[in-house]
Structure 1
Amino acid sequence: MKGNINLPEKIKALVLGKNFTSDDIGKSQVKVLMFDDCVLKIEAASKKNDETVKLMRWLEGKLPVPKVIAYEKDEVTDLQYLLMSKVSGIMSCDDYYMSRPKELCQHLAEALKLLWSVDISDCPRYINLDDKLKEARYRVENNLIDVDDAEPETFGPDGFENPVALLEWLDANRPNCEPVLSHGDFCLPNIFIDGSKLGGFIDLGDTGVADKWWDILLCYRSLKHNADGTWGKKIYSDFKPELLFEALGIEPDWGKIRYYILLDELF
């Protein structure tokens, strides 16, 4: 490895002499080093990170996910270092697949069904709605909601007056749960496709047992906004995100989809 980044000795030995590129994720305090054959994720230590690594190890052999190579903590800096393998393929939001909507939706449907096929009886993490609403309440009470980042119709004259009103509605209108293994952030950049097959899943920080419609909603919205130019610069005017439901062989539950869209506005 080349560069002036301080690493734990075990991690340093595994990447010694390797070239990398660095990527800082969004507004978060996460640094990602991309090597040819592995990825190093560096972030502040947390219990959630420990839970995610435990889950990743549980998923090995069940799903195409990054393999944990090493996981270390620096007690001085309070940083955690996760070295993992790369999944194969390219992001499903790549122009190649966005230009082939039926093929893309078929791949995504297969990815969802693969998640749902995993036996969840001993899954180490459950993400229930009560916990999500408690977290949402904390965010609302501490003014952590960016209403300007919400969907245009969520707040305002034809929507909710404010995040408090939205939270009250969510609390009073909880849907029934259809528990499956949920990726938790099933957006196109987190699903890789390798030619004609699924390459793998990345970014597993919110993976666990949850309602299957959470991932369906996230996938549908990601398709919609990658196609209409909201996320990314190119517009795919002929793209119909409803093809996802056709590929899944199900009728859309618009009530649940709306509920989870609104819940996600508080995160």
Structure 2
Amino acid sequence: MMPAAGPPHSDVPEPAAIARVAGDRPRRCVWRNELGGLTFDVAETAGAERLFVKWSPRDVAPDLAAEADRLRWAINYTPVPHVLDLGSDDEGSWLVTAARPGVSAVDARWLADPETAVRALGSGLRELHDALPVRSCPFSWTAPERLAEVRRRAASGRIDPTTWSSDHQVLDVPAAVRLLSDIPAADREVVCHGDPCAPNTLIGEDGRWTAHVDLGTLGVADRWADLAVATWSLNWNYGPGWEPAFFDAYGCDPDATRMAYYRLLWDLGP
């Protein structure tokens, strides 16, 4: 399964909200997700800091207000973007954050040096899991909650198996839901990132992680909800064979059963 999101390959229409936020400052669209959401990089100018503006079409996920809430909480414990503005209009909603040091782990700089990038991803996720306090976290991302939503979507015919990974194409929706009903016992409860794919970690020039971004589904869950998807995304972005380096940097051994479970849960979403 290749990720549907990525840098746009052509010019994209600029929502009016981006023009209002950026004014006459240079900007470029750096990311487009599968639902039509856009992220713009607004350049630093004299007296104005560099910004990132996420925009989501009206009535389409992700919930940027939910992400803003999570960023405002998490920034007390770990490096994440500082929220500057949040708004909506008839066209969509937007979230403005200050830039953090570093570039995405899928920047050309790091695609050319996957060993360094993968180790930064592993150590960065471990530090996130260790830093965020489970007991005081107001957000949840547990398997039972996600499975309940999967069942609701399955009952209403809103799950499309053709979008699943080739790993899961042998299943139909009822079979997949049955497999997901057998939830593995939690290994270690942490505050999970919620979308730990490689693009959502920033890496500095020294090869160390500098921040995490895109925390719209951050919440308490078994750490394998993150680990399964983070390691899966290594294949999409760097090619096969990088899981050992990731787990070495994170500091644990692979767990095939939990990885299989949480990858299937991810495929059925959300």
Task: Pick one of 115, 131, 138 that aligns with 2:152.
Answer: 138
**Deviation larger for 255-264 or 22-31:** 22-31
Q: Which residue pairs with 1:126 in the alignment?
A: 140
Which amino acid in 1 is paired with 2:67? T
| Structure possessing the higher radius of gyration over alpha carbons | 1
CA–CA separation in structure 2 for the residues paired with 1:4 and 1:262: 35
1:175 equivalent in alignment to 2:184: yes
C-alpha deviation, 1:222, in angstroms = 0.8
Q: Which residue pairs with 2:176 in the alignment?
A: 166
User: What SS does structure 1 have at the residue aligned with 2:268?
Assistant: coil
Q: Is the 8 A contact 1:54 1:124 kept in 2?
A: no
**1:15–1:113 distance in 2 versus 1, CA, 3 Å:** same
Which amino acid in 1 is paired with 2:24? G
Which amino acid in 2 is paired with 1:26? N
C-alpha deviation, 1:99, in angstroms = 4.1
Q: Which residue pairs with 1:224 in the alignment?
A: 235
CA–CA separation in structure 2 for the residues paired with 1:19 and 1:245: 40
Q: Is the 8 A contact 1:87 1:201 kept in 2?
A: no
1:67 equivalent in alignment to 2:82: yes
TM-score (structure 1 length as normaliser): 0.82
Aligned pairs (5 A) from 1:1-267: 5-7=15-17, 12=20, 15-22=22-29, 25-36=32-43, 37-43=50-56, 44=58, 48-74=63-89, 77=90, 79-117=92-130, 118-156=132-170, 160=171, 162-171=172-181, 173-177=182-186, 178-196=188-206, 197-228=208-239, 239-267=241-269
After superposition, give the CA deviation of every residue in 1:142-189 in whole Å (9 maximum; x if it has no partner): 333332332223232xxx3x1111101211x11122211111111111
Q: Is the 8 A contact 2:193 2:215 kept in 1?
A: yes
C-alpha deviation, 1:61, in angstroms = 3.5
C-alpha deviation, 1:90, in angstroms = 1.8
- List gaps (5 residues or longer) in structure 1: 229-236
Percent identical: 23
Q: Which residue pairs with 1:234 in the alignment?
A: none
Q: Is the 8 A contact 2:70 2:216 kept in 1?
A: no
**Deviation larger for 252-261 or 176-185:** 176-185
CA–CA separation in structure 2 for the residues paired with 1:189 and 1:182: 16
CA–CA separation in structure 2 for the residues paired with 1:192 and 1:119: 22
TM-score (structure 2 length as normaliser): 0.81
C-alpha deviation, 1:51, in angstroms = 2.4
CA–CA separation in structure 1 for the residues paired with 2:106 and 2:14: 33
Q: What is the root-mean-square deviation of aligned Cα atoms in Å?
A: 2.5
**Deviation larger for 177-186 or 244-253:** 244-253
After superposition, give the CA deviation of every residue in 1:1-56 in whole Å (9 maximum; x if it has no partner): xx985349xx94x6332122235623313233320110122223679432221111
Which amino acid in 2 is paired with 1:147? P
- List gaps (5 residues or longer) in structure 2: 1-12, 44-49
CA–CA separation in structure 2 for the residues paired with 1:16 and 1:155: 47
Which amino acid in 1 is paired with 2:76? G
C-alpha deviation, 1:221, in angstroms = 0.6
